[in-house]
Amino acid sequence: MIRLITQTVLVTWALAGTVFAAEQVLTLDPAATEIDFVLDATGHKVRGKLFLVSGRIRFDLDSGVADGELRIDARKADTGNKRRDKTMHKKVLESARYPLFVFRPTGVEGALSETEASELTLVGTLSIHGDEHPFSIPVQVEQDGDVVSASATFIVPYADWGLYRPNLLFIRVAPEVEVRIEAKGSLTSAAGVP
């Protein structure tokens, strides 16, 4: 009888661990997330900030399937220069018309370690300026229990995607912008999460 109870407990524990390991949900904390961008221009770099509205990703590393959304507020993009920001919002981002950047993952590649830094790649689409583009984000992840720190650096080829490139007479800006994200969030089992 004791052997049967022990086996039942071990099987239940093993199955619970499998469910946790297979499908998980990462919920990012907007208050603990920093998003910076850098745009090269003639003789200088334009640096700015973006702000996460919400971020939740459900993923299964065994199958490589992911879904969810990372939503960034385009209306709050800020470089610290009012004149430049006015041009950025009115002509480049058209943020009154397209208020959000949304990344929707459809897949995840890599392995997540509980003891050391992991490298994952989120594959999906980036919705920007009213259009969706296939997009991948390489992410470095560190896990401490259910707390996750993630960092990512990637390039957005905004000019190739049809956004206005704000060149002036003697000032040329790059056709792409580098984005860096430092985020914190919580990792939970997907069981019971809608």
Residue of 189, 157, 184 whose CA lies nearest to 31: 184
pLDDT at 31 over 60: yes
pLDDT at 11 over 50: no
Residue of 26, 22, 7 whose CA lies nearest to 103: 26
Residue 194 confidence (pLDDT): 63
- Rounded Cα distance between 178 and 45, Å, is 11
Yes or no: say if 171 and 41 are a contact pair by the CB < 8 Å rule. Answer: yes
Residue of 183, 181, 131 whose CA lies nearest to 157: 131
| Residue with the larger pLDDT of the pair 85 and 4 | 85
Mean pLDDT within 110-123: 91
Mean pLDDT within 129-141: 97
pLDDT confidence band for 129 (50 / 70 / 90): very high
Residue 110 confidence (pLDDT): 93
Residue 115 confidence (pLDDT): 86
Q: What is the pLDDT of residues 37-88, one digit of tens each?
A: 999 999 999 999 999 999 999 999 999 999 999 999 999 999 999 999 999 9
Residue 193 confidence (pLDDT): 62
The β-bridge relationship of strands 23-28 and 65-78 is unpaired
User: Please, what are the domains in the chain?
Assistant: 23-189 (2.40.128.110)
Residue of 108, 188, 183, 181 whose CA lies nearest to 145: 188
Yes or no: say if 61 and 110 are a contact pair by the CB < 8 Å rule. Answer: yes
